[in-house]
Chain A
């Protein structure tokens, strides 16, 4: 076991205890905030410094759907991203998804649609509020695109670029962080309810498709032709235990719920 693995294993036990405490707290006093249901893989700074991440993600042969508890509406996403765990909720992520409910301030989408999302830091004291952009709607059938997000310039500590198939899509300013504290390749359902059980149907295959890029990370600057490292070791994310997340030995499948067509039970 390497030093990193030893460190990570100790970290896992801390997480287990803290997770139990957190969830017991939530069960006793439901929060009014939105609670998502994540499934996939993530890495943290114990692994490495990360300023960018990318993967080819193949979409499922259907439009994803989220079934929230309140009114049968929510959002379903499949994406890669970078985030900061502390402070104001900084995040930068790109992928595809559908929204039966309003996605941030971006309205709804019934077809799998490429999206990007970030939180600007223009208002340092406000409640985190995210900027979203819908890009190309590419339909229901299996399409694969390479999604990349990362820092773009040495002169700007918190300027990030979002790319699809290597083509720059958006370059927002002032995201409020320079390296990622949680780097992920994961699916998400979200609903406004204080529940981990918001669900629906979702799937993505990371590293699948022609010209595929496996899930990778970099500590360089996108656009400067940085070196990329495939992620071989990660934390498993399974919000309610119903996600099917295959081995991080890539390519890997993330789907929900396990056991339905195209999403093996084991």
Chain B
């Protein structure tokens, strides 16, 4: 049965695998043109929806950030260059809610060549952040937390600047300083998500109770450790030791954040690290909703559980 089904699919795919030369005079060509015309004329285009930003007009900085701004000595270990004293203070206040040592420096200046404001894409401003993360000693994959901190800082500073009426932040450059002192440029990008979305306002203690209850209900979780960076609202770092990473990912791999820390899109950020029973890191998944970026690392050979991968072994691969 499986064999027959596979053969049928094979034939269907094989039939479709043809080289097509442009033709416009055939019946098929007319049907194609009709289909395209119908699609193109069905509805008028809509403008970009910025309702979230409009709704944020009355929103304010979280109280924890207001209090940090009143303590100018916070975040003093972070090197901040450029910008106004108020912008520098805001950077330090946000960084004070991040793990010490993950970030080395922040530069506030104009965008690098090629980047420009594009309001029609919700990309505003002419101010750019250059943020340097530090590779931690030991496990090289632990650097994912530092790179995640770059995204948390960039997103929080962009949104806080919006709420405070400071110059709009167009994007960030991500630098990574290795233990040997060399620095890699990991990328430059604009941030194009609506500013100051209403993220979960729960306190760290409320969040801890909520996430702990969720993790305690997962049978494959042997133990867990939680921490809660607070660049603006509360982000979650969950280190899970699993009896069987393979089985865990088979059950929860395509909804890892939902299963472990809840709806990641409503959080300030989520970083989930999975360890086997011997304490070896097998996977790390990081997401920063304020910048829209997610990334991670997975041990070689570990099953890829997440939907949305784009395999490079497509059906017609030779």
Contact = CB atoms under 8 A, between A and B. Distances in A.
Interface of A: 5, 8-9, 11-12, 14-16, 18-20, 22-24, 26-28, 32-36, 38, 58, 60-61, 66, 68, 70-71, 73-75, 81, 83-86, 89-91, 93, 99, 101-109, 114, 117, 120, 122-123, 125-144, 152, 161, 164-165, 167-173, 182, 188, 190-192, 196, 203, 205, 208-209, 223, 232-241, 244, 246-249, 251-253, 255, 262-264, 266
A28 to B, nearest CB: 7
A105 B295 contact: yes
A116 to B, nearest CB: 8
Contacts of A99: 307-308
B312 A83 contact: yes
A130 B293 CA distance: 11
B314 A235 contact: no
Given A139-B49, A173-B186, 16 more contacts: A19-B13, A19-B14, A24-B6, A34-B308, A36-B310, A91-B310, A103-B308, A104-B294, A127-B301, A141-B45, A142-B46, A167-B190, A196-B315, A241-B15, A249-B24, A253-B32
13 contacts: A23-B10, A125-B300, A132-B308, A133-B291, A133-B294, A136-B122, A136-B123, A138-B49, A142-B42, A143-B46, A235-B19, A237-B316, A255-B39
Given A83-B312, A91-B310, A104-B309, A164 B45 contact: no
Interface stretch (B86-94, B221-229, B237-245, B248-256): B248-256
Contact of A251 (B21, B36, B121, B298): B36
Nearest to B114: A168
A34 B309 contact: yes
Contacts of B14: 15-16, 19-20
B22 A168 contact: no
Interface stretch (B95-103, B200-208, B282-290): B282-290
Most chain A C-beta atoms within 10 Å of own C-beta, residue among B115, B194, B309: B309
A102 B258 contact: yes
Given A89-B312, A241-B16, A208 B36 contact: yes
B198 interface: no
B40 A135 contact: no
Interface in B153-208: 184-190, 192-194
B194 to A, nearest CB: 7
B50 to A, nearest CB: 9
Contacts of B187: 170-173
A101 B309 CA distance: 12
B109 interface: no
A24 B298 CA distance: 29
B307 A75 contact: yes
B317 A22 contact: yes
Nearest to A163: B114
Contacts of B9: 23, 27, 196, 240-241
A235 B316 contact: yes
Given A190-B309, A236-B18, A131 B192 contact: no
Given A105-B295, A205-B40, A235 B17 contact: yes
Contacts of B34: 264
A160 to B, nearest CB: 10
